[in-house]
Amino acid sequence: MPFAGFNMPINYKTGIINEHKNVRNHSGIFDVSHMGQILIENNESYLHKLEKYIPLQLNKLIKNRSHYSFLLNKDGGVIDDLIVSNIDIKDKSYLYIVYNASRKKEDEEIFISCAPNAEKIYNKNCLFAIQGPDSINVLKNIIDIPNNMNFFDILISKYNNNEIIVSRSGYTGEDGFELSIPNESAENLITHLLKNENTMLCGLGSRDSLRLEAGLSLYGHELNENITPIEAGLSWALDKERLEDENLNGNKVLSDQLKNKLSNKKIGLISTSKSMLRDGMTLFDNNNNEIGKITSGCFSPNLNKSIAIGYIISEFNTDNPIFCEIRKKLELVKINNLPFVKKNYKKNGSIYE
Amino acid sequence: MGAYMSEKKYTKDHEWVSIENEIATIGISNHAQDSLGDIVFIELPSVGNSVKAKDEICVVESVKAASDIYAPIDGEIIEVNNNLENDAAIINQDAENKGWIFKMKISDSNQYSELMSEDEYKQFLEQ
């Protein structure tokens, strides 16, 4: 199916549910080469300009660590969500940023305006994610992985004499790694990994159901330019000191939102019947008043029910029943805390030096 | 006089129909189940309903999408496959046999003869 200008598989031959379970129980490999990858020289003036958009203290990022963050617009809305890491490549210090394929144009306009010599590397490097509890065992036979590597640690390793960027991360709620590898060695690496019987190629379908079970937001669904990270329930990812900084886009809006009540809140929902909850469905209270919308929905293979993430108005008391309109009928849905399935990350370190 | 079992015919909406003694059995084609992927739920039609060809009468939900099932010909729904209620994945395993969805008493057998034969359906898929 077409996805952000790429032709991407929804699933491979065994189907979405099987791929999903294989990631939860063993491991699975996702080709995410469509995503944006850029290297920005770690220089004071570039970092200062980027800090207008990124709510982190970029000059204080610990080497070999990654951070979930955003590009923010003037109103604090999310232009994109991304992972920013501080790494050295050939003795030079860089910010390595991975961002959404669907937002390349908007993001790169900002990156290039802040750092004219920023280097997009996604045309010469593939990006693969290997996810699931067995990922470490599948990978460590092939690539050097230090025992003390934690979730969101990142380093340069070698495969076939090529330098590859290895980060312990992913978007499934499981332990796993992302590998940025030069195109010429990419096929070899995948073939090599797939020799392990406990892994398999996985498509966009299971990637979506895995991230949804893990309660993770997806750009274009839970996140867009009209939603701030705070409204999306992601204030943990904001550096609170930066909210006092006039240089940060939308800093006033964001600090006000932190102090005051929001108009909407993000919730997790589970279907009480076998019907599927899907993106765009409308939510009602028991008096038929519209109270919100679903932004992502899928079948959860772990819970054997449909699950969803959505936004409802803050004043709605969640002890009251919620109904979802499914094919012109109202069906009762239940609130469920996010995530739906516990995350299994290898423990986190701190953010700054 | 033995029971008369017709050849299986197909619609452009990827349903199959076979007729025995004026009773039509309907399901979705093997090609349809394959494109839908894992089927997790089916909303079965109501027994006793009279329907016209092209009416939306029930819904199949897969992990990818919800798809309407249309009545292939005019008639009355007389039976549904209740096994699918607990295990809709039967359609993935055996779409054109155990995965049948409903039976109807048909009123116009001409509508049936206008549907595609298996070969014609194969050609239709290749277009």
Name the phi and psi angles at A195, rounded to 5: -65, -25
**B87/A contact by beta carbon, under 8 A:** no
Picking from B50, B93, B97, the residue whose alpha carbon sits closest to that of residue B74 is B50
Looking at domain B9-109+116-126, which of 1.20.120.80, 2.60.40.10, 2.40.50.100, 3.30.70.20 is its CATH number?
2.40.50.100
Residue B2: per-residue pLDDT:
41
Chain B from 37 to 56: CB within 8 A of any A CB: 37-38, 40-41, 43
Query: Are residues A181 and A159 in contact, defined by beta-carbon separation less than 8 angstroms?
Result: yes
Query: Rounded CA gap, B28 and B34, in Å?
Result: 10
Picking from B50, B44, B47, B14, the residue whose alpha carbon sits closest to that of residue B29 is B14
Structure tokens at A271: 């279907």
- Give kind and range of the element (H or E) at residue A187: helix A183-194
Query: Are residues A133 and A26 in contact, defined by beta-carbon separation less than 8 angstroms?
Result: yes
Give the largest CA-CA distance in chain A: 65
So where are chain B's domains?
9-109+116-126
Instruction: State yes or no: pLDDT of B26 exceeds 60.
Output: yes
| Three-state DSSP class for residue B26 | strand
- Select from A205, A276, A278 the Cβ nearest to the Cβ of B40: A276
Query: Are residues B66 and B46 in contact, defined by beta-carbon separation less than 8 angstroms?
Result: no
**Which value does ipTM take for this structure?**
0.79
**A2-3 and A6-7 beta bridge pairing:** antiparallel
CB contact under 8 A, B41 and A11: no
The pLDDT tens digits of the residues spanning A238-283 come to 999 999 999 999 999 999 999 998 999 999 999 998 889 999 999 9
The one-letter amino acid at A30: F
Report the chain A residue with the minimal C-alpha distance to residue B66: A276
Query: What are the chain A neighbours of B38 within 8 Å (beta carbons)?
Result: 15-17, 299
The pLDDT tens digits of the residues spanning A136-168 come to 999 998 999 998 999 999 999 999 999 999 999
* Cβ within 8 Å of residue A267, ≥6 positions away: A292, A309, A310, A311, A312, A318, A335, A338
Give, in words, the CATH class of A261-344: mainly beta
Looking at domain A2-213, which of 3.30.1360.120, 3.40.50.620, 1.20.59.10, 3.30.160.620 is its CATH number?
3.30.1360.120
A74 alpha-carbon distance from chain centroid: 22
**Range list of β-strands (E), A50-108:** 66-72, 78-89, 92-99
Chain A from 63 to 92: CB within 8 A of any B CB: none
Query: What are the chain B neighbours of A275 within 8 Å (beta carbons)?
Result: 41, 43, 61
Cα torsion angle, A296, A299, A301, A303, sign: positive
Picking from A321, A341, A339, A323, the residue whose alpha carbon sits closest to that of residue A331 is A323
**A36-41 and A119-120 beta bridge pairing:** antiparallel
Per-residue pLDDT in tens (0 to 9) along chain A, 353 residues: 777 778 888 999 889 999 999 999 999 999 999 999 999 999 999 999 999 999 999 999 999 999 999 999 999 999 999 999 999 999 999 999 999 999 999 999 999 999 999 999 999 999 999 999 999 999 998 999 998 999 999 999 999 999 999 999 999 999 999 999 999 999 999 999 999 998 999 999 999 999 999 999 999 999 999 999 999 999 999 999 999 999 999 999 999 999 998 999 999 999 998 889 999 999 999 999 999 999 999 999 999 999 999 999 999 999 999 999 998 899 999 999 999 999 888 875 555 65
CB contact under 8 A, A17 and B63: yes
Residue B109: per-residue pLDDT:
81
